């Protein structure tokens, strides 16, 4: 799962606990890449810490895209945006 989020996004704030719960419930089946789009490292870390989100899960990886170079490649039309990626790398949803 690739989830694009930003600190200013209220929907991101609401959905992130559910995404964490999915990773916790399915540790052998789901890997989450939580890609922060545009925030500084400190802002993104503070956002996650303020919500008691985990930094120590093997299958949940925080990714910082401060310049939004990766985010732009996905041509997103808003935040949050989540892609489900199959085992062979294809986007399935």
* Ramachandran quadrant class, 59 (left: phi over 0; alpha: psi -120 to 50; beta: rest): alpha
Nearest Cα neighbor of 7 from 76, 64, 84, 61 is 64
pTM of the predicted model as reported, rounded to 2 decimal places: 0.92
Contact 9, 80 (CB under 8 A): yes
Domains of the chain: 2-83 (3.40.30.10)
Give 35-71 pLDDT, tens digit per residue. 999 999 999 999 999 999 999 999 999 999 999 999 9
CA 62, distance to chain mean position in Å, is 7
């Amino acid at each position: 799962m690739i989830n694009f989020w930003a600190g200013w996004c209220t929907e991101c704030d609401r959905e992130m606990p559910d995404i964490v719960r999915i990773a916790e419930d399915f540790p052998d089946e789901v890997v989450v890449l939580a890609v922060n789009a545009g925030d500084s490292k400190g802002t993104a870390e503070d956002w996650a810490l303020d919500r008691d989100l985990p930094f120590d899960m093997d299958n949940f990886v925080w990714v910082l895209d401060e310049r939004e170079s990766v985010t732009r490649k996905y041509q997103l039309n808003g935040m949050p945006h989540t892609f489900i990626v199959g085992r062979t790398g294809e986007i399935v949803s």
